[in-house]
Each structure stands twice: as C-alpha cells, then as structure tokens.
Amino acid sequence: NAGVTQTPKFRVLKTGQSMTLLCAQDMNHEYMYWYRQDPGMGLRLIHYSVGEGTTAKGEVPDGYNVSRLKKQNFLLGLESAAPSQTSVYFCASSYSTPRKYFGPGTRLTVT
Amino acid sequence: GNSVTQMEGPVTLSEEAFLTINCTYTATGYPSLFWYVQYPGEGLQLLLKATKADDKGSNKGFEATYRKETTSFHLEKGSVQVSDSAVYFCALSDRDDYKLSFGAGTTVTVRA
C-alpha cells in the first residue's frame, strides 16, 4: 500500500516551459487535492476533485490546470511556467472526511 | 471565510523543554480542527484532531483542546525530543466542506 505518490520529486523549468505533475493514490479515495506550500504562507489549495471526471478551483488556481481521468490519478499542469510558481507542490487525497493523506511533495523551481 | 492564525516561529528548544504553539481560528459554523506535522523532506502527516468543542486530541505526547469560547486549538507537549523537530501546521475544515484551511506553519527545532 503505497498511499499517495507524486512524480517527479524535483524539477527545474525555464520561464514559459510547460510540465505536468502526477499524483497517484491507491486508497480508493474519492477526493483529491493539489496544494502549494510557500514560506510563511502555509498550504494553499490550487484545485481539487470530488470524483473521477470532476475538478474545481481552489484558492489560487490561476496558471494551473488539472485533470482527473481516472479515480486514482490527479494531474496538475503548468502550461507556461512563471517564476511565481516556484514552490513545493503537495497532493492529498481523502474519503468524504476532512482528514487528508499527503504525498511527499514536488519541489519546482522556475528560472 | 475561514482562516487560521498560528504563532510565528521559528521556535528553538532544548530537549525535555515544554512546547506550546498557539493557534486561533475564524470560521462559520462548527469546524473540525487539526494539527499536521511535516518532518524534514517529507509530506504532511496528521498529528491529532478534534471535531467538537471541548474535545481533546492527543498523539505522541502532544495534546490540543478545542476551545470554542476562545476560538483556539493550542498544541502542547510536556517534554520534547530531538525527533520532534519539524514544521507544525494548524488547520480547520468546515463540516460540509472537506477543504482544509492551513495556518502558516511553525518551525520547531529541538536541540540535544
């Protein structure tokens, strides 16, 4: 039982490049979330999904897109990376309860 | 909207010292409250939770009591260890909404 996994662990992008972060969970959770963590700001919700094929915006969705084609996967896309998107990205999943299970994070640097 | 305010760090302590991290919140209704911990290089893990007023969450020697009258959920541990060095996040969730609102996090370093 791997829990929540994230790919890749680290990435460096140049401004304007695109990339996709992959989150996978093997707990059959309905809900999945993408957060970003910045110093002094805690975690902020980017997008979330309440089930396969559904997505919704969180607090800071601009510049990101997501897809949930399969229940176990939640993809976060950056179409044109900007230095302001330098951050640590965490995926989380849950049942229909507030408790979240977090992945190990992806550290992204945009130069 | 919901918000969580944590005491600012960083906090540096000696082993066996008493730790308190203050957390206050603003929310409509009756939220559930959480403390998450992030050890170096890892994701967040749930440390403890409380779902209604006067509940006490506890785990690994840490405790926090849900105080509705003061809208607080302070984290305490009586005797910290080096292995408690981590970032601690206070968070809340509305009962009808499973999104979490996080505080800014408090970095705790325990020295031997």
| Neighbouring residues of A62: CB distance < 8 A, sequence distance ≥ 6 | none
Q: Is A94 on the interface with B (CB under 8 A)?
A: yes
Q: Taking 80 as the threshold, does the pLDDT of residue A1 lie above it?
A: no
pLDDT, position B98: 72
Residues of chain B contacting residue A103, judged by C-beta atoms under 8 Å apart: 43
Quick one: pLDDT band at residue B96, thresholds 50, 70, 90?
low
Do the beta carbons of residue B10 and residue B107 sit within 8 Å?
yes
Do the beta carbons of residue A91 and residue A102 sit within 8 Å?
yes
Residues of chain B contacting residue A45, judged by C-beta atoms under 8 Å apart: 99-100
In this predicted model, what pLDDT tens digit does every residue of A19-63 receive, in sequence order?
Answer: 999 999 999 999 999 999 998 888 999 999 999 999 999 999 999
In this predicted model, what pLDDT tens digit does every residue of B11-42 receive, in sequence order?
Answer: 999 999 999 999 999 998 789 999 999 998 88
Residues of chain A contacting residue B98, judged by C-beta atoms under 8 Å apart: 31, 94, 96-98
Q: Taking every pair of C-alpha atoms in chain B, what is the biggest distance, in angstroms? A: 44
Query: Which residue would you say has higher pLDDT here, B95 or A17?
Result: A17
Q: CA–CA separation, B23 vs B75, rounded Å? A: 8
pLDDT, position A78: 96
pLDDT, position B2: 86
φ, ψ of residue B26 in degrees (nearest 5): -130, 125
Does B99 contact A48 at a Cβ distance shorter than 8 Å? yes
